[in-house]
Amino acid sequence: LQERDRSNMKSFRKISRVAQRGSRLINHSLAARFNSDNNTKKKEFIDFGHRDVPIEEKETLVGEVFHSVANKYDVMNDLMSAGIHRVWKHEFVSSLGLLKPLTVYSETEIGKVERVEPVKVLDMAGGTGDIAFRILDQSKSNSSFELDQNPVHVTIMDINSSMLAVGKDRARDRGFTDGQLDFVEGSAEELPFEDNTFDVYTISFGIRNVTHRDKALKEAYRVLKKGGRFMCLEFSKVQTPLLQQFYKFYNFNVVPMIGQAVANDRDSYQYLVESIEKFPTQREFKELISDAGFRAVDYTNMTDGIVAIHSGFKL
């Protein structure tokens, strides 16, 4: 009997150990699944038009849109806005005022030396050169200075290589030189420039496509010199209800059709009109600019708020 009891006890202990190991494996499996579910829930999403996509995918998706539309971008702008975009851009650049070359003094071994430097402009998301060329043309026509170099130098920066390629071709066709502008590929969220580099930062119809707008605005603030100016031209919110209804109908029913007919790309233009609708109101975007550190922030509506010019200073 004692021998049988000892045998039964050994069997019980063996079964108990197996049960404990099985329990630990089950608990480990359940914990792993729980953590996996939590990680999935914690995954951040952001708007891509009317779709919510993982935040790390938006930049790639936006890039695909602009690679697709680059060659037809200017033609589509004319068709979609009936040419009014040219008026908006003219007013935007005119609101910069006269950009005068800067007189800079530096101490040397022979004393204080005076030199004249061009106004440095960073045109972000400016791939096709529309804004940059207008700034250069305006500065040339308004300048009364005799300089060995131009009164203004514009750095055109864009995250999209296809848009930059279009801009380079246009610059070459219009006779602009390296002394007047240069092209840089990169993100608005991580500018490859030192602090206090530029006198003016412009961004036209680009900020709504940036994933982290707050980060881009802080980067704009960082690279501007003290006294530098931030300028943004962007689609906004129509103020008159009747026009708002017509504008929404036009955007969602006509613009994608034009995109399909002219560029054979309905989806990209569907995203573009959806991104307009998702963009913050004038006042909300004004607050974002202020939060980035800018002062004297203001905006001006054009065409009843279809677009707005936003302005702020680094003081």
Query: 21 vs 237, which has greater pLDDT?
Result: 237
Question: With 80 as the cut, is the pLDDT of residue 11 above it?
Answer: no
pLDDT reported for residue 1: 47
Question: With 50 as the cut, is the pLDDT of residue 38 above it?
Answer: no
Average pLDDT over residues 142-151: 60
Strand order across the beta sheet in which 181-185 lies: 181-185, 152-158, 119-124, 198-204, 224-235, 307-313, 295-302
The 10s digit of each residue's pLDDT in 41-69 is 456 877 666 667 677 776 776 667 667 76
Helix axes 161-174, 130-142, angle to 10 degrees: 30
Strand ranges, E, within 25-126: 45-48, 51-54, 102-108, 111-117, 119-124
Mean pLDDT of the chain: 83
Contacts for 83 with CB less than 8 Å, ≥ 6 apart: none
Question: With 70 as the cut, is the pLDDT of residue 239 above it?
Answer: yes
pLDDT reported for residue 7: 53
Distance in angstroms (rounded) separating the CA atoms of residues 220 and 290: 12
pLDDT reported for residue 149: 61
Strand ranges, E, within the chain: 45-48, 51-54, 102-108, 111-117, 119-124, 152-158, 181-185, 198-204, 224-235, 295-302, 307-313
Least confident of 41-45, 114-118, 304-308: 41-45
Question: With 50 as the cut, is the pLDDT of residue 39 above it?
Answer: no
The 10s digit of each residue's pLDDT in 251-293 is 999 998 988 888 888 888 888 888 899 999 999 999 999 999 9
